[in-house]
């Protein structure tokens, strides 16, 4: 942290400034400006003409009180600025996002660039950050995320007029290769649920719901029975399960505004959910404990929701038991989108089902085509050429 001299008693700390004549005969105007981290930095204006120094001091005071007088000095480091910036954004972003920002700053940005003077920070420093992270084996995604956080922080530094421009804007992070998407076919999805039923997998209903709705894992695990409308066969997605700093947060809002949505269920899924509720209530009764009919649809014995880690591990075991290729729980969501697009459903419908903020996200994510689509395209073109 930057250590500044503390204003002396009676001197200009927050008031009108201080103007006095030095021993060498010149005049000096002083004022104090509060900088990053709450530290105080003294500004001095020296000259032979008293009125000129007084005018410059008044102008500086006006700028300071209006929030436009830069407080950064050569001693203000990037670490100092981040220490003052980070707490202020905690209430403006999602809890998981704030944790991600903190980790990227703590693990990568501050260790590499924290001691660099904020005023001297340039594109070469950002380039060095990317290179060092790459040398340490960090993925292009992690480097891009770190670069984005640094860019966001420095945008604030520009708006606070601590620096004239954002050096992170002049450097592009490494290009992120689009990973090959792994999905289940319609036949594989049905086989996985059937295999889970044969084994009496206690989470078979969760697998069916994931493959029958495309909802996110956190959205499914945060579902309560009150979110299920059995009369109309609808499921209301209005919260998401997340863990922040190791603590469960079940009241988090969905990922985006469009993530709050209503999903229509097939008759088979509604019947499966009702059977699941009956089985859970009967199991609780046999164990001598109560069952909350307004509680979580997928819960532990104590009524708390299942954790993401436990569910992900159980999913991997279910995939292996069904003899299917390795896919993540999140790939169930990709599978739903791919199957619907392959069957000719519109990207708009898929975007609404998945809770994407716009259809562009859907098109960019699922721009790949499947063998079935290639075969259908070949058949269509063949018909055209044959007349």
> What are the tens digits of pLDDT across the range 7-42?
343 344 445 578 889 888 888 888 776 655 455 566
- Specify the pLDDT at position 2: 32
For residue 276, the model assigns a pLDDT of: 95
What stretches in the chain show pLDDT beneath 50? 1-14, 37
Contact 185, 171 (CB under 8 A): no
What are the distances in angstroms from CA 236 to CA 1, 24, 226, 229, 314?
A: 48, 77, 9, 8, 25
The pLDDT value given to residue 236: 94
pLDDT at site 302: 86
Kindly report, residue by residue over 280-295, the tens digit of the pLDDT: 999 999 988 888 889 9
So what's the pLDDT on residue 109?
Answer: 96
Domain ranges of the chain: 1-71, 78-170, 186-373
Question: Does the pTM of the predicted model rise above 0.75?
Answer: no
Q: 182 near 309, Cβ under 8 Å?
A: no
1-71 CATH: 3.30.160
Q: What is the pLDDT of residue 377?
A: 75
**Architecture of the CATH domain 78-170:** Orthogonal Bundle (1.10)
Architecture of domain 186-373: Orthogonal Bundle (1.10)
């Amino acid at each position: 942290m930057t250590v500044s001299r503390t204003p002396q008693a009676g001197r200009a700390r927050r008031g009108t400034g201080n103007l006095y004549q030095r021993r060498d005969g010149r005049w000096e105007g002083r004022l104090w400006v509060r900088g990053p981290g709450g530290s105080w930095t003294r500004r001095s204006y020296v000259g032979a003409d008293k009125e000129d120094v007084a005018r410059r001091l008044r102008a500086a005071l006006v700028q300071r009180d209006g929030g436009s007088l830069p407080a950064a000095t050569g001693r203000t480091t990037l670490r100092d600025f981040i220490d003052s910036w980070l707490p202020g954004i905690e209430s403006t972003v999602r809890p998981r996002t704030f944790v991600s920002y903190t980790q990227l700053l703590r693990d990568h940005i501050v260790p590499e660039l924290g001691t660099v003077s904020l005023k001297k920070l340039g594109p070469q420093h950002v380039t060095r950050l990317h290179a060092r992270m790459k040398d340490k084996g960090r993925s292009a995604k992690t480097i891009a995320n770190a670069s984005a956080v640094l860019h966001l922080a420095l945008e604030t530094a520009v708006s606070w007029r601590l620096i004239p421009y954002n050096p992170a804007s002049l450097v592009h992070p490494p290009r992120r290769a689009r990973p090959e998407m792994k999905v289940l076919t319609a036949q594989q999805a049905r086989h996985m649920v059937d295999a889970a039923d044969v084994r009496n997998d206690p989470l078979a209903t969760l697998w069916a719901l994931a493959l029958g709705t495309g909802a996110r894992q956190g959205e499914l695990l945060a579902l309560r029975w009150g979110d299920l409308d059995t009369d109309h066969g609808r499921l209301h997605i209005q919260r998401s399960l997340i863990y922040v700093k190791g603590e469960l947060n079940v009241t988090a809002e969905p990922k985006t505004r469009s993530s709050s949505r209503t999903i229509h269920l097939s008759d088979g899924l509604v019947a499966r959910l009702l059977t699941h509720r009956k089985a859970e209530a009967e199991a609780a009764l046999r164990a001598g404990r109560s069952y909350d009919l307004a509680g979580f649809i997928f819960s532990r014995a104590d009524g708390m929701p299942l954790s993401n880690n436990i569910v992900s591990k159980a999913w991997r075991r279910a995939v292996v038991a069904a003899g299917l290729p390795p896919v993540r729980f999140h790939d169930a969501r990709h599978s739903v989108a791919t199957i619907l697009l392959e069957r000719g459903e519109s990207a708009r419908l898929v975007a609404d089902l998945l809770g994407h903020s716009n259809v562009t996200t859907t098109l960019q994510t699922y721009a790949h085509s499947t063998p079935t689509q290639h075969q259908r395209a070949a058949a269509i073109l063949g018909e055209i050429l044959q007349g």
